[in-house]
């Protein structure tokens, strides 16, 4: 509620920058979800088909996850009451970490408060100013922030360019200090898959550590959704696996998997782990149930990929640019519709919403200038009727707005 007090001059620059966003047409307001996350739901009072969420497998509303959360609240209360290293490590936290480690086929796991803190906290604690990070240019912001916090020297290689990565390794191979190669397993804006196996080859050849952020690959790629590391059969070659509990898993949090020594080290040095209260027991219980679902209901992943293939095929036939022209080609349920101009992308997104489709516009600085897009994500729970209706809305609105479909 506004107090009516005048803006302090120290903060006037914020208003100026917001006005600049409005002038460029990239200012947005948060859409508010009025019911549960699903393939069709209510945002801002409007019933829409939802192509914007990370709820790949529909686990946000799975009845077994609901039951697990409610039971945990009854048994353990609503909060842990402390950080993990003081008094906030509950038995259910350890059960979750053991569940994830077994699922991923590694020695140990530690759960963080979010995927962002898992990445940033791990990178910043593993390396120091004498070390080197060799990072894909399109890696997630949390990796970039962790690299900056580590004070290590950062070498950026062109997106998925393994030869360029090797050039960067050669530049520093005679330098003292540790070397860490980092890639996303699935890149969140373009939906393409990182060359995990080929980067592992380089890590082996040059004695570098290997780290993969599998946030958008977990639950999507690999056996029962074990991720890109499993997809490429590189479990024993990746030193640090990062994942999230807030996308395909349907709840909240992030995690790091690897050797027992890696996890013990992060217990002692990862600042988000040391200084943040641990998960509510209801969230931990929900995540445990989610990993059970991945094992017992593989048909969800099969439906996800069936829907994804159909949606991509129909978008391509309609003439939409879904990557592969001026941007990487999507290989996963993340399917961008490349518009180019930021204002046009945001206007398109708003028009789609008015027509009954939730599909978020993404513009600079999240993606480079000139590569603004509508970012769509398919789920296992979308019906063919909903997908066809989405395609009809996309096509009709694009034509009405005069967007070039190339056909």
Residue 198 falls in the annotated catalytic set: no
End-to-end Cα, the chain, rounded Å: 50
Tell me 125's DSSP state: H
- Cα(119)–Cα(112) distance, rounded to whole angstroms? 9
- Cα(372)–Cα(343) distance, rounded to whole angstroms? 9
Structural contact between residues 50 and 38, judged by C-beta atoms closer than 8 angstroms: yes
Q: What are phi and psi of 208, to 5 degrees?
A: -95, 155
Q: Pick the catalytic residue from 125, 135, 188, 390.
A: 188
Q: Considering Cα of 17, then 19, then 25, then 28, what sign does the dihedral take?
A: positive
Structural contact between residues 376 and 335, judged by C-beta atoms closer than 8 angstroms: yes
Residue 268 falls in the annotated catalytic set: no
Residue 216 falls in the annotated catalytic set: yes
Sequence-distant (6+) residues with CB within 8 A of 1 are none
Half-sphere exposure of 388 (CA within 13 A, CB side): 3
The phi-psi region of residue 233 (left if phi > 0; otherwise alpha if psi is between -120 and 50; otherwise beta) is left
Beta bridge partners of 340: 372
Half-sphere exposure of 22 (CA within 13 A, CB side): 7
Q: Pick the catalytic residue from 216, 231, 312, 382.
A: 216
Structural contact between residues 342 and 348, judged by C-beta atoms closer than 8 angstroms: no
Task: State how beta strands 240-244 and 254-258 pair.
Answer: antiparallel
Q: Report the catalytic residues.
A: 188, 216, 247
């Amino acid at each position: 509620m506004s107090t009516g007090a005048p803006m302090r001059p120290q903060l006037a620059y914020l208003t100026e920058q917001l006005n600049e966003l409005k002038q460029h047409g990239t200012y947005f307001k948060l859409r508010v979800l009025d019911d549960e996350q699903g393939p069709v739901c209510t945002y801002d009072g409007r019933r829409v088909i939802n192509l914007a969420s990370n709820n790949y497998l529909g686990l946000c509303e799975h009845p077994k996850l609901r039951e697990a959360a409610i039971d945990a609240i009854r048994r353990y209360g609503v909060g842990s009451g402390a950080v993990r290293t003081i008094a906030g490590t509950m038995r259910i936290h350890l059960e979750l970490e053991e569940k994830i480690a077994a699922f991923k086929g590694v020695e140990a796991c530690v759960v963080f408060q979010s995927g962002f803190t898992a990445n940033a906290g791990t990178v910043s604690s593993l390396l120091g100013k004498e070390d080197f990070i060799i990072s894909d240019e399109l890696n997630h912001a949390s990796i970039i922030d962790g690299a900056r916090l580590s004070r290590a020297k950062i070498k950026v290689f062109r997106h998925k360019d393994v030869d360029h990565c090797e050039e960067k390794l050669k530049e520093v191979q005679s330098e003292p200090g540790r070397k860490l190669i980092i890639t996303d397993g699935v890149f969140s804006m373009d939906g393409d898959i990182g060359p995990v196996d080929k980067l592992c080859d380089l890590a082996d050849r040059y004695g570098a550590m290997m780290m993969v952020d599998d946030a958008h690959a977990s639950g999507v790629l690999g056996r029962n959704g074990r991720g890109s590391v499993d997809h490429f059969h590189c479990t024993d070659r990746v030193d640090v696996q990062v994942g999230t509990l807030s996308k395909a898993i349907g709840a909240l949090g992030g995690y790091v998997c690897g050797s027992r020594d890696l996890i013990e080290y992060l217990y002692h040095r990862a600042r988000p782990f040391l200084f943040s209260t641990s998960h509510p027991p209801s969230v931990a219980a929900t995540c445990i149930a989610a990993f059970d679902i991945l094992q017992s209901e593989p048909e969800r992943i099969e439906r996800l990929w069936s829907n994804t293939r159909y949606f991509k095929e129909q978008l391509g036939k309609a003439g939409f640019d879904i990557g592969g022209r001026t941007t990487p080609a999507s290989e996963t349920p993340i399917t961008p519709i490349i518009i180019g101009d930021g204002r046009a992308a945001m206007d398109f997104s708003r028009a789609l919403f008015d027509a009954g489709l939730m599909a978020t516009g993404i513009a600079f600085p999240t993606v480079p200038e000139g590569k603004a897009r509508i970012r769509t994500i398919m789920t296992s729970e979308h019906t063919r009727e909903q997908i066809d209706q989405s395609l009809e809305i996309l096509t009709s609105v694009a034509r009405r707005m005069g967007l070039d479909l190339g056909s």
